[in-house]
Structure 1
């Protein structure tokens, strides 16, 4: 009988953390392991990519995106069920109210952070004990594995800048004490996590995202990509339509580029709760034909391969898989000089880092639109990056020894 491993994740939506988990699962195809997956929300379109040897432990699953109309209805039903399941309604309400007040004072309401604890407490309970339980994300996954899973060993993964993401010690309720190892996806993520939890330095390690570079290159040659016949320069960004990704700044940068006369078009692959607000801003600036929200796509790699420049101007990051994908396909990258991004780009050698202002983003893009030789050289340097990752898998499997 193989070692029993349970992975827990919040949703299976189309995003970087889910992609990274699927890559790891794809490398665990062995009779030595019995692998299970539990999805807190029981929802997400990426579930179709789950390897056949991984047992999905949700009794029912909704493959709609949580961002679609059907998915949002399903999400509301899940939240309501979680409130009543396993009791403790008064405690659930008190937790939400207690953590709502600091958000109100900061002027930044984050509904998902308020609900993760309730969704964890209202989740499925397993009677069996696992050899290893893995909380793949912060929030509900970490709370659930810490409080409600029986396992010989427990580990967690942190993918974001913990200080900037909005989590607090009050929300977490000492959940990190329950883990034997806490893996961070980059050195900067570790630094910012330990700024909040310095007492966990001894068990905070680094586990870089696993990236299948050959698979990315192969899929980039499949049919797909841009279909609008545009003859100017194509700018590409891949990422969810959220506040973190700073598309409001990108739209203003695109307006500056158009006003300066550059023949370029900016495309975005991704969905999110900011779509309506971004569409209004695009229309207000007259950029309906210049800044295009294409939605999420199953295979983004032909778009990378066909783009002239990749832009990743975000407010903060953990470690961006989108940047790694762009680099794998030899695209020059312009990124904001923020946590996460600066660890992935050597400024002036394989990309450009800039301040997160419309003027700085526009200036950096313009410099590479004007200098094709430099743009090509940066892309070639990016394409030579080798994300060798044998050590990460060994580190993970060592938890089973």
Structure 2
């Protein structure tokens, strides 16, 4: 009989962890596993890319992006409704009170979303929380399974998680999968007792599909000049505010730079206002969410990934597959993906540090080309990591 596996994720928007999950689901043999997926908030455009053999357990699902204006409203409505399901809000009153200080509201609400979500009678051979927060709480508290595993995609400390916030839930999981060595190290520092069941399970990407999609025409044209590209959600973590200041420095040095941003998020309004205040709005260009971002990687001169912190960036992996010359901030996650001076540059996270890295790439075109060639030769696919799921399923 096929082994029953349940994956749980918070949303299914077009972002790194969600994209990696879709690829993982496509890699799991259909003839071996009976695979189900539950999306806590029941929303996200990547639902269209689910393999046909994956059972989506949500009774209702919205295809709207979780980052669009309409999507944010629908997400708020979903969270509000879940407050009143299974007594979730009242059950968590003391939890909310104890964690109210220095904890972002969205992290507090994941506990309510988890407790207010649908419940299922099915017993699974393996239940997997594929991201931090709500999905981890849900798998821990509300899923019946012989084995349970959790993925960690971020720097646990930098992202603002704590043992008290998570109610020590990770202690009870059978296996913890971190997406990079640094992510694993940070997590082990908080949960030292989980060290023996902690493994690195790299994000999976479909390299051939990326290369094929990059050959398609882009929906929007790009200016003549030096074209920079960054892909990511418009959130404080991604450091786009620092990028705006870096762009200002580059333009002051008379470089004809245009910086393109693919992504949506809560910081859009603040970033557009910042770009206007610095008079760089014509050079800091938002492309929004792109169904196929890969032609823009090919059209850009350099890929820039200057973030405050990372787990492991899918966007960097994609840029490497397409042979981009990359500059990235020297932070957790990024420095595990780039060997500075060999297949890209690592730079300080500051306007000056980012601008200097871009200037170096501009002024040393042959070196930049060598970075791109070296990046394209890197092994960015880790299909062999899938064996860890099989090992967990069949271990005593």
Query: How would you bin the TM-score normalised by the shorter chain?
Result: over 0.9
Whether 1:366 and 2:359 are equivalent positions in the alignment is yes
- Alpha-carbon distance between aligned partners in 2 of 1:99 and 1:381, rounded to the nearest angstrom: 46
- Alpha-carbon distance between aligned partners in 2 of 1:158 and 1:89, rounded to the nearest angstrom: 26
- Alpha-carbon distance between aligned partners in 1 of 2:230 and 2:10, rounded to the nearest angstrom: 24
- Alpha-carbon distance between aligned partners in 1 of 2:232 and 2:333, rounded to the nearest angstrom: 15
Once the two structures are superposed, the pairs formed by residues 17-96 of structure 1 within 5 Å of their partners are 17-96=17-96
Paired residue total: 394
Query: 1:341-364 CA deviation, whole Å, 9 max, x = no partner?
Result: 000000000000010110111011
Partner of 2:335: 342
Cα RMSD over matched residues?
1.1
Deviation at 1:97, TM superposition (A): 2.1
Partner of 2:391: 398
Deviation at 1:391, TM superposition (A): 2.2
Partner of 2:7: 7
Query: 1:262-295 CA deviation, whole Å, 9 max, x = no partner?
Result: 0110000000000000000011111121011111
Q: Rate the CA distance shift 1:88–1:367 in 2: closer, same or farther, 3 A.
A: closer
Partner of 2:242: 249
Moved over 6 A (4+): none
Unmatched segments (≥5 aa) in structure 1? 104-108
Partner of 1:328: 321
User: Which residue of 179, 200, 203 corresponds with 2:173?
Assistant: 179
- Alpha-carbon distance between aligned partners in 2 of 1:188 and 1:390, rounded to the nearest angstrom: 20
- Alpha-carbon distance between aligned partners in 2 of 1:389 and 1:319, rounded to the nearest angstrom: 13
Whether 1:304 and 2:297 are equivalent positions in the alignment is yes
- Alpha-carbon distance between aligned partners in 2 of 1:88 and 1:364, rounded to the nearest angstrom: 49
1:83–1:92 Cα contact (<8 Å) kept? no
Query: 1:135-172 CA deviation, whole Å, 9 max, x = no partner?
Result: 00010000000110000111110000001000111111
Unmatched segments (≥5 aa) in structure 2? none
Deviation at 1:177, TM superposition (A): 2.1
1:29–1:53 Cα contact (<8 Å) kept? no
TM-score when normalising by structure 2: 0.97
Deviation at 1:91, TM superposition (A): 2.8
TM-score when normalising by structure 1: 0.96
Query: 1:299-350 CA deviation, whole Å, 9 max, x = no partner?
Result: 0110001110000000000000100100110001100000100000000000
Deviation at 1:390, TM superposition (A): 3.3
- Alpha-carbon distance between aligned partners in 2 of 1:156 and 1:389, rounded to the nearest angstrom: 18
- Alpha-carbon distance between aligned partners in 2 of 1:146 and 1:90, rounded to the nearest angstrom: 20
Whether 1:146 and 2:151 are equivalent positions in the alignment is no
Q: Rate the CA distance shift 1:85–1:335 in 2: closer, same or farther, 3 A.
A: same
1:117–1:140 Cα contact (<8 Å) kept? yes
- Alpha-carbon distance between aligned partners in 1 of 2:148 and 2:225, rounded to the nearest angstrom: 51
- Alpha-carbon distance between aligned partners in 1 of 2:314 and 2:207, rounded to the nearest angstrom: 11
Deviation at 1:220, TM superposition (A): 0.5
